[in-house]
């Protein structure tokens, strides 16, 4: 699915952090300043996510250790979910645990079966500090859990188990960017 930038967005595409970058493996700091710099960060995150053909992006994936993520992701009924969350907290992850293919913009070209719940709820605030609550099912629930993990310093490869873990580790070593 090819995504298009938000009309009127003036964000810049930033360099993507790849697996092995220390920022991807450490918890991010809460956002305390709500102003033009945060607005620019979110615009740049959308531009970077779209340029990489992604459905979600956490701030630490572009070298910013702050608790922010953006998304433009369908659910399993092909309903599009578009937005951002500042200082997100995963408050619910429940339902059926589903093992499905998962990839990441910070591990380009790779994917592996990863277990996630099929329902997730994230709470946080928007660019102005107003409360937001985002609820997702299916693929969108997977996206919400994935992005919240990033902000805790966890990449999906950390959740892969069994023979898939060994296979993914070999592919990562072969890729040469970790």
If DSSP codes are grouped into helix, strand and coil, which group holds residue 106? Answer: coil
Catalytic residue among 43, 97, 111, 147: 147
CB 115 within 8 A of CB 97: yes
If DSSP codes are grouped into helix, strand and coil, which group holds residue 74? Answer: strand
Residues sharing a CB contact under 8 Å with residue 154, sequence separation 6 or more, in sequence order: none
> Is residue 152 annotated as part of the catalytic site, yes or no?
no
Q: In which element (H, E) is residue 121 found? A: strand 111-125
CA distance 50 to 68: 16
**Pairing mode of beta strands 111-125, 68-74:** unpaired
Q: Is 148 annotated as belonging to a binding site?
A: no
Structure tokens at 106: 């910070």
Q: Is 104 annotated as belonging to a binding site?
A: yes
Q: Is 150 annotated as belonging to a binding site?
A: yes
Instruction: Kindly list the catalytic residues.
Output: 147
Annotated binding site for Fe cation: 104, 146, 150
Annotated binding site: 104, 146, 150
């Amino acid at each position: 699915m090819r995504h298009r930038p938000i009309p009127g967005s003036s964000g810049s595409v930033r360099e993507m952090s790849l697996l092995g970058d220390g920022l991807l493996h450490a918890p991010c700091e809460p956002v305390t300043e709500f102003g033009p710099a945060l607005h620019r960060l979110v615009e740049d995150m959308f531009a970077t996510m779209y340029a990489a053909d992604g459905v979600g992006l956490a701030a630490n994936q572009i070298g910013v250790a702050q608790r922010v993520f953006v998304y433009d992701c369908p659910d399993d009924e092909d309903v599009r979910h578009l937005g951002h969350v500042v200082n997100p907290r995963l408050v619910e992850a429940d339902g059926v645990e589903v093992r499905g293919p998962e990839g990441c913009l910070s591990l380009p070209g790779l994917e592996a079966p990863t277990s996630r719940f099929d329902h997730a709820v994230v709470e946080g605030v928007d660019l102005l500090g107003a409360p937001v609550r985002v609820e997702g099912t299916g693929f969108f629930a997977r996206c919400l859990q994935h992005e919240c993990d990033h902000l805790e310093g966890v990449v999906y490869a950390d959740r892969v188990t069994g023979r898939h873990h060994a296979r993914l580790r070999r592919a990562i070593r072969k890729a040469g960017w970790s």
